[in-house]
Amino acid sequence: MQPTSPLDDLLAGLPTHRRQLFEARLERWLPDLEAALVPLYADPAEVRDRLVRLAAAAFAARSEELHALDLRRSLAPDWFQRPEMIGYAAYADRFAGDLAGVADRAGYLEDLGVRYLHLMPLLTPRPAPNDGGYAVQDHRSVRPDLGTIEDLRALTGVLRARGISLCLDLVLNHVAREHEWARKAQAGDPTYRDYFLVFPDRSLPDAYERTLPEVFPDFAPGSFTWDDDVEGWVWTTFNHYQWDVNWANPDVLLEYAETILSLANDGVEVFRLDAIAFTWKRMGTDCQNQPEVHALTQALRTVSRIAAPATVFKAEAIVGPQDLLAYLGQGERHGKVSDLAYHNSLMVHVWSMLASRDATLAARALQRLATPPSTTAWVTYARCHDDIGWAIDDADAARAGVSGFGHRAFLSDFYTGAFPGSWGRGLVFQENPATGDRRISGTLASLAGLEAGDPWAPARIQLAHAIVLGFGGLPVLWMGDELGLLNDPGWASEPGHADDSRWAHRPRMPWPTPEDTHGINAGLRTLVAARRDLPHLHASTPAQVLDPRDRAVLLIARRHPLGAMLGAYNVSDHPAHVPHQVLHDLGLVPGHVMDRITGEAPESRDDAVQLPVYGAVWLTSTT
């Protein structure tokens, strides 16, 4: 490709060292940008030049404080992989009213040990229903009841001063049908019609639908919606009011790049790439995980690296294990796409283990997942704002001696409380009669038995947190789970929420926070403190799931240069054990290990470490 066009008009006002910095970054990253664009667009050089101009303009406009952050992050590119990182996710309004309220509560988060805050979509959405803000109407403004862009900037400043990075959603797959682009398309502007995927009749939609899965089979069946204004079938993977954008159009890439750079200059440090798997469509496929998705990510990531390297990307790819690793960069995209990705499989298996009181299936499934690149990290979590879909692979289930279909049905029965003796109190989300799938909504505490009054619920919550914080990666807590909040009994009465049971597990934060009667908060804080002092939990060290010796115990080894760490988790309601041989195999000496959660030696007898009901230990050598 030819060199990019001159940027003097954009960079002229900058001091020499700044210009040199920009040039050095271009020299470093331009090859990645070019490589990303070639498979995507007919004229990659033209797209590259437009992107570089955007990057130069954003670089020139970036504040001194954020340039300083860029420098610090360049010197510590592993900042988000460190054991002291703890994440928290919340709706700004449900957490603290508005953005200024969140800033006022920053001390609460810092005190809990939080270093990363994911605030749910806060750019202006269409009026309700808007899928919890995932139907964005305007990328340039903040939802008016939450504040303004200035408030957002002020909030990122307050958080940054406390060492907390703000993560925001970038809803890549769609915009609201009320978005300016869609309105222009509706008004007949062909440029903007090209921002979407619109078909004059059903022939292509029918052909695509032959291989497309249903995302919201219950309240939004099908993937296309007829629109009178554009006189066509619009691709709407999610709800009918969420119009999928056409990423094959380079103008769409440019628009999103501009949004990223502008939010990065407002102080946003992590971008959550919402529903990223769906962004590229291909006939005859399920239109997820297409190779172009990763090229698009690489293009956006590279542009942000040039203008705002303090930022990182998090992929929201709730996809099968065979497709997941590509989001963290495999092959030629190694180190060039997202830095973080949700470990959906771990989350699902935490619940599967607790219901079945057996770690065998989880171990089989987790062992099959390839190791992520050492510069990336899993986002680990017990649950999030979304439902839990039972992503249990049939082949994994067969290897563990159970039927995939049967186990998924069992989990749905269990977590809705229908299974005899169950303590789970979740709700069904999106029952799909065609596949038999029933996804589940519920807070951590309600799913773990607190709502049912089960005496073991606090221990189960602590165990789930121990797994999530002890796996390695960036653990993210959902607002209120640190207090054991139950499902919101009034969830369905709010306008637009009645058919979406996910609102049950998005309760409002009670201030002042309730007494920690069950010790849930204290238990979590113990784990946060222990984690901070455990270099073994740096995400560059991979987690290795060992074969269970006792079916009830999940074993996770982390082989760090400082020595091994063994996490052992009893997922059952009876005492269990870890044979000393497991420790020996890792180079740990049974008499010389410490449980880093309690700071004491674990209970050892009969050549085994003993684990109480729902017990967890993080063992390292004392020497």
Footprint of ligand GLC (CB under 6 A):
131-132, 134, 171, 238, 274-275, 316, 386
Cβ distance to ligand GLC smaller for residue 277 or 303: 277
Residue type, 12: A
- Per the CB < 8 A criterion, the answer to whether 552 and 571 are in contact is yes
Secondary structure tally for the chain: helices H, strands E: 22, 25
Residue, CB closest to ligand GLC: 134
Which H or E run contains 580?
helix 580-585
- Per the CB < 8 A criterion, the answer to whether 173 and 245 are in contact is yes
Which H or E run contains 458?
helix 457-470
Provide the pairing of β-strand 616-621 with 593-595.
antiparallel
What are the residues whose beta carbons fall under 8 Å from the beta carbon of 538, sequence distance 6 or more?
78, 81, 82, 83, 472, 560
Minimum CB distance to ligand GLC, residue 602 (Å): 38
List beta partners, residue 432: 437
Minimum CB distance to ligand GLC, residue 131 (Å): 5
Q: Which of 93, 269, 274, 387 is catalytic?
A: 274
DSSP class per residue in 19-82: HHHHHHHHHHHHHHHHHHHTTT-S-HHHHHHHHHHHHHHHHHH--HHHHHHHHHHHH-TTGGGS
- Beta-carbon-side half-sphere exposure of residue 208 (alpha carbons within 13 Å): 22
316 is catalytic: yes
Give every strand in the sheet of 608-611, ordered side by side. 576-579, 608-611, 604-605
List beta partners, residue 232: 227
Provide the pairing of β-strand 340-342 with 377-380.
parallel
Minimum CB distance to ligand GLC, residue 374 (Å): 27
Treating both helix axes as pointing N-terminal to C-terminal, what angle do 291-307 and 16-37 enclose, rounded to 10 degrees? 180
C-alpha span between 446 and 481 (Å, rounded)? 10
C-alpha span between 64 and 51 (Å, rounded)? 22
Q: Which of 169, 316, 437, 488 is catalytic?
A: 316
Catalytic residues: 274, 316
